[in-house]
Structure 1
Amino acid sequence: MRFQALFPMLMAFVAFVLALLCMFAGNKPNFMEDYHIVSLNTSLLGHNLIPSASTTTSAPKSTSTSDLSNILGHLKRSDNEERNIITSGIDSGLSSLENDLNSLGNDVADKLARELGIKEWYSLHLMDMCEGTFTPNATAAGASKASNMTCSNRTAMYHFDITTPLNNELMASPLHINLTTLKFPDDIQKGLDALSTSLNATFVFYAMGIACAGTLFLTSILTIFFAPHIILLANMFLSILGTFVLMLASAIITVAQNKATDLINKFGNDVGLYAYKGGKFHKLTWVAFGFLGFAMVGCVMEWLMDRRARRNGAANEGGEKKDGLFRRVVRVGRSVV
């Protein structure tokens, strides 16, 4: 029994499981939701329509008075407490907007998101998109994602489109506005389109890495009991190929995460949209690459050891044949003498 074959076998199995988790993370609600590739916080979306305390002397030039009236009117009617606090309304002049906004308290993000009809966060996974709200609220310290999230249908090479669901939710809200009203930049969706294109390549690479790691695990089991040279050569090829494609997938994910979040934050922060890289997914994909890399080292070492053993065996066999011929010649010479 060849115990040295256990090392690449175990490494390949761990890499196989981790690569599978990379592909299927977040494929259904509450399953590894924290392992997203990119997450969008939309709880502050639309705040650019409401003048802040530092800009109450004039309304934003890009926002109409009717938009302000609709949004503030719905916010003021959200519950009895706000109705009692906010009494002046927009008709009393722009100076009252500061008091109205301050009276909403720390849960203004939840109230605004509720009136706009949008979710407070959206997350991108390799095969789908999930959405939901924060608990206890979006502005609370240590807020987390509520468990009543929803996810899109699981699709290979999923395309991350944020503008369509946001527009549909905004139009269905009591305000009946759209992303144009919120001055939502087109460059955000362009960045997400580029991200989706990159992820299509990583999907193929993950599929190849999973296939290589799974096959390597099975063939490594055989090498525990017997090790034909062809199987050791196949194991080395599978490990090298699998490690290479997982390295490509991890590198593409890393670059795409950085570029997408930078672009979205550049154009989206002004309208209340914030993007975050999935740190846990980033670690998971590189750890999967690392384990398959260890398996590759083990397979290469096995192949080199087998090759050396074969060379030594061939040399010994050749030496025995030469020695046997020499002895026969000596015996013949002695008999003649």
Structure 2
Amino acid sequence: MRISALFPMACAIVAFILGMLMLFAGHKPGFMEDYHILTLNTSTLGHNLIPNTTTSGSSPTSTSSSIGSFFSSLAHNVTSTIEGDLDGIIDDVADKLAKEIGIKQWYSLHLMDLCEGTYTPNATEKGANLNVSTCSNQTAMYHFDITSVLNQELEVGPLHINLSDIDWPSDIQKGLNDLNAGLDATFVLYAIGIATAGCAIIASLAALFLNGSRLISFGNWGLATLSFLAFLVASIIVTVVQKKATHVINKYGNEIGVYAYKGVKYLTLTWVSVAVMALAAIAWVVEFCIGKRNRGREYTEKTSHRTGWRHRRSDEAQLRRSGV
């Protein structure tokens, strides 16, 4: 039994489990919600459109005729609770604004679905927990279309408005479309990485009982390397699209109260999977080299034994011919 095969097999098992977690994180409310790829904080979406109440005795004014009714209703529902307490206006708006216009306080993107919910105890509390309301059905190569989601919720909300009423920038969804294209490739690469890691586990079991087989070592190295490359490329894509998407959303969305955050925990998972499969590939290279060296040593010993035996036979024959 080749005990040294246990280490790369353990690495493959870890990578396989991590890959499955990255695929199914967030597949139901509360399951690894913190391990999202991207999250949007929409608790203050539209705050810039609330009429100015900082001047004593001034009356709220509308910025455009198309959203005049929106201003009136929003000013009545939100600012009525904060009038005379200007120091707490930001906290109150963050807690009440999303509810008043009919949306959730946050939306998180996972590889195969979207979850949404509210912050507990409130949106402005440092380290607030994510209270999950619902998650969409899991779909392979899921596309994150936050524009459609928000529009639908706004239209059925208390004020019956849409994104155009709150000056939603179209550049946000354009940036997310690039994210979706990258995540499509990521899904395929994760599937390859997980499948090859699973095959590497089975092949490692064979290596445990086929001691000294260089062919098995080479095959395991090939599987580990393929899994490593798949996870590596997927991790690079996730890292790049996360950075690009958060930059675009924050660039165009901060003014209207939308903030994007990268899923740091998800990045940790994906790069750990890369690391463990790299270790597995290196381990099989070492196994292959050790096996080759041992076979070379065995061949040398056998050759030396045969040569010595022939020399002894030759010496005996020569002595007999000389009459000794």
Normalising by structure 1, we get a TM-score of 0.86
Tell me by how many angstroms 1:102 deviates: 7.1
Counterpart residue identity of residue 118, structure 2: T
Match of 1:313 among 298, 303, 307: 298
Residue 107 of structure 1 is aligned with which of 92, 102, 117? Answer: 92
Q: Is the 8 A contact 1:12 1:214 kept in 2?
A: yes
Could you tell which deviates more after superposition, 222-231 or 283-292?
A: 222-231
By how many angstroms is 1:239 displaced? 1.1
Structure 2 counterpart of 1:164: 148
Contact 1:261/1:276 (<8 A) preserved: yes
User: For each residue in 1:296-328, what CA deviation from the matched residue of structure 2 results, as whole angstroms up to 9, or x when unmatched?
Assistant: 221111111111111112222222333333333
Aligned length: 320
The counterpart of 2:123, out of the listed 122, 138, 148, is 138
Deviation, 1:152, is 0.8
- How far apart in 1 are the matches of 2:220 and 2:294? 18
Taking the aligned partners of 2:189 and 2:88, their CA distance within structure 1 comes to 52
Q: Which secondary structure does the structure 1 equivalent of 2:249 belong to?
A: helix
CA distance in structure 1 between the partners assigned to 2:55 and 2:146 by the alignment: 30
Q: Give the secondary structure class of the aligned counterpart of 1:133.
A: strand
Indicate if the aligned counterparts of 1:26 and 1:130 stay in contact, CA closer than 8 A: yes
Mapped partners of 1:301, 1:55: distance in 2: 74
> Can you give the 5+ residue segments of structure 1 that lack an aligned partner in the other structure?
87-98
- Identical amino acids, percent of aligned pairs: 49
Decide whether the 8 Å contact of 1:75 with 1:112 is kept in 2.
Answer: no
Aligned-CA RMSD value: 2.6
CA shift, 1:25, in A, is 0.9
Structure-to-structure mapping, 1:112-123, within 5 angstroms: 112-123=97-108
Displacement of 1:262: 0.8
Q: State the Cα distance separating 1:53 from its structure 2 match.
A: 6.1
Residue 50 of structure 1 contacts residue 68 of structure 1 at CA under 8 Å; is this kept in 2?
Answer: no
1:235 paired residue number: 220
1:205 paired residue number:
189
Task: Spell out structure 1 runs of 4+ moving beyond 4 A.
Answer: 51-61, 99-105
Gaps of 5+ in 2: none
Q: Which digits, 9 at most, give the CA deviation of each residue in 1:47-97, with x for residues without a partner? A: 121245679999899x3156254344245247xx937x76xxxxxxxxxxx
Larger deviation, residues 226-235 vs 254-263: 226-235
Within 5 Å, give how 1:118-267 maps onto structure 2: 118-147=103-132, 149-227=133-211, 228-267=213-252
Q: Which residue of 2 aligns with 1:299?
A: 284
For 2:4, the equivalent position in structure 1 comes to: 4
- How far apart are residue 131 of structure 1 and its match? 0.7
Kept in 2: contact 1:75–1:115 (CA 8 A)? no
What is the letter of the counterpart of residue 196 of structure 2? C
Q: Which residue in 1 is equivalent to 2:269?
A: 284
Question: In 2 relative to 1, CA 3–105 (structure 1 residues): closer, same or farther, beyond 3 Å?
Answer: closer
AA at the equivalent of 2:247: D
What secondary structure is seen at the aligned counterpart in 1 of 2:172? helix
Note the alpha carbon deviations across 1:272-308, whole angstroms, 9 max, x for none.
Answer: 1100000111111111211122222211111111111
Report the AA paired with residue 20 of structure 2: L
Distance in 2 of aligned mates of 1:318 and 1:59: 100
Counterpart Cα distance in 1 of 2:223 and 2:55: 62
CA contact 1:119–1:132 (8 Å) conserved in 2: yes
Q: Residues 331 and 272 (structure 1 numbering): CA distance in 2 closer, same or farther, change over 3 Å?
A: same
> Helix, strand or coil for the counterpart of 1:275?
strand
- Measure how far apart 1:106 and its partner are: 2.4
Distance 1:60 1:281, change over 3 A: farther
**Compared with structure 1, are the counterparts of its residues 180 and 77 closer, same or farther at alpha carbon in structure 2 (3 Å cutoff)?**
closer
TM-score (norm 2): 0.90
Query: Contact 1:71/1:175 (CA < 8 Å) preserved in 2?
Result: no
